[in-house]
Structure 1
Amino acid sequence: MTADQPQGTPADRARWKRYIADERAEAAVYRELAARREGEERDILLALAAAEGRHEAHWMALLDGDHDGIPRADVRTRLLASLARRFGSIFVLALAQRAEARSPYSSDPHATAAMAADERIHGEVVRGLAARGRRRLAGTFRAAVFGANDGLVSNLALVLGIGATGVPAPVVLFTGIAGLLAGALSMGAGEYVSVRSQRELLEASAPDPGAREALVDLDIDANELALVYRARGMEPQDAVEQAALVIARVHAAERTPAPTDAIGAVEHDDEAVGTGMSAAISSFLFFASGALIPVLPYLFGMSGLAAVVTATVLVGIALLLTGATVGLLSGASPLKRALRQLAIGLGAAAVTYLLGLAFGTSIA
């Protein structure tokens, strides 16, 4: 290759230009997300954008500054940028996590090993940022997803099972409405009790703040604080060393109240647990919204096989959407999660429909 000849084959140069387009779009995603955040998260996202800029510079160097013919980024990356501008949500971070995992740099001979490593680490950085958002919505989101799916599946099964026996359409309608109300109330009450019980169990394991007052009078050579740390899971020698350090700090402070972490702590995430009332409300509303869908055909005057098919199709679409949403938030394949949700939901409904046919007359 002479000095006047461009580096790489035409195919190589076209690929490098695609990389540049994607790097620019990914950097834009991180900057858009950073604009909606503050503090540490903002700094991390801006650092990711700067790293994408370094990668862009690498490909531009190979192209000798040739800016002509830079294409648009691929559809996925453009979608990410659009979502980041409009929402800046956990969904975008979850999608970005998947995008980083698909980087081709590890197999591209023109990418450096450092660039391939960067992309792998970027995926972990984004996973960590997404995990913060997942923790913030975990408790309420769990109740919402479970509520919606329970409403969809249980009420579809109820409606199909009753409808298959051949009873009049009004009976199916009122049965579905009764199932909606009973299930929503039950789910809401159950979630409230469940979350409250979980929080109470965690609070019972938390250290007693009043116990810190006793630390100033403990014998620095033979104190019982080491037993507390051992009870919390620390190794004996580590517990002794930590106890000695804490007691020394307390004595050096001349009877100033001990640090709040002196007794040791049982780690638990209040955000992930959620609150009883928020979980109950989410569960009630989402169960009701899910349970309403299989009833809609009967509300609009449909009956017989047409109502059954319409209800099944509507619920199937809703199951696909909820499954895909869970997949996106978990960083997994939305399609696989959607199909799994669909198979489980319609499978359960099919059982009650067949039982209704066996014990009833005809839906025609």
Structure 2
Amino acid sequence: MPETPSRNVSDITLLRAIGWPYEGEPGDTAWQAAMAAHPQARPARVIEQHRSGYVVADAPGVAVKAESLPEWQRPRFPAHERPAVGDWLLLEGGASKRQRIVAVLPRHTEIKRGAAGEHYHQQVIAANIDTVFIVCGLDADFNPRRIERYLLLVGGGGVQPVVVLTKADRTDYAGDAVEVLADIAAQGVPVFTVNAKDPASVAQLSPWLLPGRTVVLVGSSGAGKSTLTNTLLGDERMKTGEVRESDSRGRHTTTFRALIPLPSGACMIDTPGMRELKPTGEEDLAEGGFADIEAWAAKCRFRDCSHQREPGCAVRAAIECGELDEGRFLNYLKLRDEVAAAAGKLAGRLADKANTRVPGKASNKRPDDKYGKH
């Protein structure tokens, strides 16, 4: 990658160790343009996000605090436009001075969900990532419908989903679980069973943990995300806890999102378990793991087929002949309705924002308006 006036080769090498793109990769051109506007600033990545500020790094093992900008703390400022773990910032200020954020570099990927609560908000889970490991335990945590929900949130964002079924050493039915997820695997989503405590078993994931890659772990509390991270680190750095035998649920041993460089050269973002996985309204069902159902629906005799008892319904025919799992189809209908409802709320929110904007008055924007569209 061409050097900027304030960077040298060793700086770029250190940045790449925490996910800075190589020349020609996503983010490279846009980020260089943003840096040219701030020749005295240096890039740093958000490795922890807290209410009052951020912990950022410009090299592995080097972390400093950066204060949140005042406008980001305003109640009406969109939460998804604030920096999240994985974002890249431009900072000014030496080692002995307060670190000042002067710009946020455009995201090339992000994973979002609808925030909990009645009001419509979007929450960014992680930014600038290459792969999502959807972690699910092969105990009472195993839930194909929840895995499908995760895939819907991930789909269409330019991120590769990989399903990681942990605790394979505790069951004789790992193969059956993989069989249950055959329709998901047929959509191009890799599915692995692993013993998260065994480095040899976890080595199956190495193709997605190459130098410069960033992976985020998502899944329920107790699914084994922190155990998996510890094995990849070769160190018991992340706190883990036992799960309840009654329902295989665990405590929130991970309480905030954090980005951690791995010995392989990749970066891992560990996240707390998420109980609510609400769509934002921007999801695409075909790209979110349901391309096969959308294809069946396109073959129905009637364009507005409800897939109940209409003649010529290709979806019902696929279910009846065993080519389509009915439980998966019912989940598709449920998620389709949720996406439509969220899309309606999003449209209403955008309309309200447009109607309340005062002519001639600049709206609140991120530093230098460098974030780009979502």
TM-score interval, normalised by the smaller of the two chains:
under 0.3
Instruction: Normalising by structure 1, report the TM-score.
Output: 0.26
**Going by fraction, where is helix more abundant, 1 or 2?**
1
TM-score normalised over the length of structure 2: 0.26
Question: Which has the higher relative contact order, 1 or 2, with Cα contacts under 8 A spaced 6 or more apart?
Answer: 1
